[in-house]
Copies of this chain bind each other. A is one copy, B any other.
Amino acid sequence: MSKKHTVILQPSGRRGQVDEGMSVRAAARELGVEIESICAENATCGKCMVLVEEGRFEKYNIDSKREHLSPIGTEERAYLMRRPKLLQSKGWEIGQVRLSCQCKVLGDVLINVPEESRGNKQIVRKTARERAIEIKPSIRKYYVSMVPPNIERPIADWERLAKGLETSMALVHGPEAKLPRWFDLRIDYQCLRSLSSTLRAANWNVTVSVWQDKEVIEVQPGYVEESYGAAVDIGSTTVALYLCNLRTGELLAAESEMNPQIVYGEDVMSRIQYAIEHPDGLEKLHKAVIATLNKLLKQAAKTAQIKTEEILEMVLVGNSTMHHLVLNLHPKDLGLAPFVPAIHSSVDIKARELGLQINPSGNIHVLPTIASFVGADTSAMILAEEPHKQDENWLLIDVGTNAELVLGNRKRLVCTSTPTGPALEGAHVEYGMRAAPGAIERVQIDENTLEPKYKVIGVDGWNTDHTEFKGQVKGICGSAIIDAVAELFRVGIVDSRGRFKKGLSSNRVREGENGWEYIIAWADETSIGRDIPMTQQDVRQIQLAKAALFTAARTLLKRTGLQSPDKIILAGGFGSYIDKEKAMLIGLIPDCELEKVYAIGNAAGDGARIALLNVEKRNEIDSVTRQVERFELPTDPEFQNQFMLATSFPHMSEPFEHIAHLIPNRVADPMAKNFMK
């Protein structure tokens, strides 16, 4: 038996043991990560470049070093030597960057697969929806034509501009508008520095960009119509940037990148820990995300064929930890009881203070946070969905490693959050993976034969629709995990406590190395050559996750005296892909008419765009978030008790009338009567 080494692939987080001597590219494929290659591994196309991350990675218990790969060969070196500009532009050096088709695994390594080398580009579910947003940007442009100064009227440049601007603003807004007088207008200092030369170069005809109708932040020669802004959702995993035309609201570019902070910790708690344990931890985390934002800005500007200096404002949202890290605020107290953010209020700050490479006089607006684990992304979700304007009681759930829940209507909004673990996103499940080509995304089990059929991302229809279905499957993603657990329960393979039943007449149910399991895909259906099971352990992970989410939802309902929400809104990529019925069947979400359960995609990104394009919405969400009531689950004395009860499928005390027909052998659970009423 050959020697094995651990290979970890970032940013996907896929990892596993591979045989010594295997090429990195082959190893990656084995672990479910496709790396591009055009030249048939001849070291000539360079599409398969990867980066070797060096150091001791405690979390993974490995030491990654360059010499854990075979030495760089003549052809590989020759290829890299021919591309000094590329390497320089990326800041890569030979040795750190390798052709993954050429280098062989000789020890444990952590490999970073850059975006451009990824074979099956990850489906970034965070795409901006087209939605009607009233365009009232914080930045307005005004054309100002001035009489040049002369010896009789040598009034200063700024005052000359301000007086002209007062006139232009009054013309645009009409006589009724409350506008500042010229002497109450301000000009950003950096903008002032170039004012005199701009006015003269423009022959005293300029377009002035005014922020919130009070501060001049840009003066451009001649008549200019368009301004640009960027809305950014900084997720723990993905950073998504939307470049918009501030006049028309048009979406000009949507760019996303993996959050580079992932190398310092996969989830928010481990990043907080990193910042606490390393003196330069905060600085590293902060600089990493700023660098990514600058990269996205550059990409988006290129796509839209504008200059980054033409971007005059950015709106940022993210969970509280992302919020703190992007603002260079220490996240320590977010992670330690009593879990307190530095600030709830929205923040306006000059781009130059954060080193964000838009117009240096431009502002960065960061939406308010609500609690330590209910961040600016939740504020953005509220802004996008507007539960605070409804008569009905809506339950908004953003599911991720952590779930945030908001419940209520125009009279009252309550919120809470709960850790759900990574299982719902496909992590910590044995063959779990992110939603990418090769991932099983749907599972059905025949209740008679106990045989499954499934759908794979990148393959049309069900696997059973194909006569030859071999080697397509790489793993199982979040939506299929929900499906699988629900189906295992529905067809009676697991009981309402989540335990595998013994003695079933199916070779798919078997006792494996790590306990009982159900095989969804046989080894020959996969690209990794192994059976893909749903294990007892996987089912337990889902039980814990769904219990947390369900108990959180029930707590909010109880606190507001409601039996059930009028509508359930699932935000985030996860919500868009799960089968609502199945989610309800396992008790992931409370009982509700199925037609009243909506998946709305990246609501945080939508909310950020709304705040970017409509300045009044910023005041609205500031005001709403000040009134949202926060409930901290750990302070609820019943929480632990209720949590344990809620691990069953589905919770017995819940009516679940809308999925009752699906529930097998429904019997009264003796513990259920204790569940919160």
The 8 A-B pairs at the shortest CB distance, nearest first, are namely A158-B343, A156-B341, A156-B344, A151-B338, A154-B338, A149-B340, A196-B342, A154-B340
A154 with B344, Cβ < 8 A, contacts A330-B196, A622-B183, A626-B183 known: no
- A149-B338, A189-B327, A193-B328 are known; give 10 further A-B pairs, CB within 8 A: A151-B338, A156-B341, A156-B344, A158-B345, A192-B327, A192-B347, A195-B343, A196-B329, A196-B333, A197-B330
Q: Are A183 and B635 in contact (CB under 8 A)?
A: no
Residues of B within 8 A of A634 (CB): 151
Q: Is A451 an interface residue (CB 8 A)?
A: no
Copies in the complex: 2
Write out, one digit per residue, whether chain A residues 353-384 have a CB within 8 A of any chain B CB (1) or not (0): 10000000000000001011000000000000
**Which residue in B156, B200, B340, B371 is a CB contact (below 8 Å) of A157?**
B340
A189 with B347, Cβ < 8 A, contacts A152-B632, A330-B197, A369-B156 known: yes
Residues of B within 8 A of A123 (CB): none
Q: Are A632 and B330 in contact (CB under 8 A)?
A: no
Contact sample, A vs B, 20 pairs, CB 8 Å cutoff: A149-B338, A152-B632, A154-B339, A154-B372, A157-B343, A158-B343, A158-B345, A159-B343, A183-B626, A189-B347, A189-B353, A192-B329, A192-B342, A193-B328, A193-B329, A195-B342, A195-B343, A196-B330, A196-B332, A196-B342
Q: Are A635 and B340 in contact (CB under 8 A)?
A: no
Residues of B within 8 A of A157 (CB): 333, 340-343
Q: How far is the CB of A56 from chain B (nearest CB, A)?
A: 28
A183 with B343, Cβ < 8 A, contacts A151-B632, A154-B630 known: no
Interface residues of A in 308-363 (CB under 8 A from B): 327-330, 332-333, 337-345, 347, 349, 353
Residues of B within 8 A of A193 (CB): 328-329
A residues near B (Cβ < 8 Å) are: 149-152, 154-159, 183, 187, 189, 192-193, 195-197, 200, 327-330, 332-333, 337-345, 347, 349, 353, 369, 371-372, 622, 626, 630, 632, 634-635
Q: How far is the CB of A155 from chain B (nearest CB, A)?
A: 7
Distance, CA A328 to CA B200, complexed state (A): 18
Q: Are B196 and A632 in contact (CB under 8 A)?
A: no
Closest to A158 in B: B343
Residues of B within 8 A of A632 (CB): 151-152, 154
Residues of B within 8 A of A183 (CB): 345, 622, 626
Distance, CA A150 to CA B634, complexed state (A): 12
Residues of B within 8 A of A343 (CB): 156-159, 187, 192, 195
Distance, CA A187 to CA B329, complexed state (A): 13
Q: Are A158 and B342 in contact (CB under 8 A)?
A: yes
Q: Are A155 and B342 in contact (CB under 8 A)?
A: no
Distance, CA A110 to CA B552, complexed state (A): 79
Residues of B within 8 A of A369 (CB): 156
Closest to A159 in B: B344
Closest to A352 in B: B353
Residues of B within 8 A of A151 (CB): 337-339, 632, 634-635
Q: How far is the CB of A235 from chain B (nearest CB, A)?
A: 21
Residues of B within 8 A of A330 (CB): 196-197
Q: How far is the CB of A617 from chain B (nearest CB, A)?
A: 17
Distance, CA A156 to CA B343, complexed state (A): 5
